[in-house]
Structure 1
Amino acid sequence: MSLMMVPLGETKIVTEFRGKDDMKRHLQDLGVVKGEKIQVVGETSSGLILLIKGVRIALNRGLASLIIVN
């Protein structure tokens, strides 16, 4: 399922990325890597606030929809 479908407060595991290679690299630079736990801690009108490796990051809806979690 896409990260955009994860309910607020739930933790999931990143399984894959969709999109171009440069977009995948950008997400990996932010700490979003396969096998990593990711928690949705907030939602704004433009995207999601995530907790990854103890760090909060904000992603817009377009980027969040490219992350597939299980």
Structure 2
Amino acid sequence: MTDMVSEAVAMGGGGTMPARTRVTGAQLPLSLVHEGSTVVVSRVRGGSELRQHLAELGFVEGAEVKVVSRVNGDVIVSVKGATFGIGRDMAKHITTA
């Protein structure tokens, strides 16, 4: 059992948390997420213009992101029904769980 699931059971959650929240607490920048993985955005860092741009693309807290392909930190992702590529510099600003 992962740490969060154990914690939920201890707090009376009974392990009924949705599958996407069953994580060990590890957080990675999107640029390091493995190809084929689906992750949840936990934080977007950067200046206000960058955060606004990423939000308009669908990178908001709680959004599910599937990494379709990855090469040297550049990623092709699927988020909210759209598929597109982002560079590693932008992907480093998106923290996932």
Runs of 4+ in 1 over 6 A off after TM superposition: none
Q: What is the CA distance between 1:46 and its match in structure 2? A: 7.2
State, as a whole percentage, how many aligned pairs show the same letter.
30
How far did 1:32 drift?
Answer: 1.1
Distance 1:23 1:45, change over 3 A: same
Larger strand fraction of residues: 1
Q: Quick one: distance in 2 between partners of 1:28 and 1:10? A: 21
How many residue pairs get matched? 70
1:37 counterpart (60, 64, 69): 64
Greater helix proportion:
2
Greater relative CO (CA pairs within 8 A, separation 6+): 1
What is the 5 A alignment of 1:29-68? 29-44=56-71, 47-68=74-95
Tell me which residue corresponds to 1:21. Answer: 48
- What are the ranges of 5 or more consecutive residues in structure 1 without an aligned counterpart? none
User: Structure 2: which 5+ runs fail to align?
Assistant: 1-27
Query: Structure 2: which amino acid aligns with 1:37?
Result: E
TM-score between both structures, scaled by the size of structure 2: 0.67
Report the 3-state secondary structure (helix = DSSP H, G, I; strand = E; otherwise coil) of the residue aligned with 1:34. coil
Rg larger for? 2
RMSD: 1.3
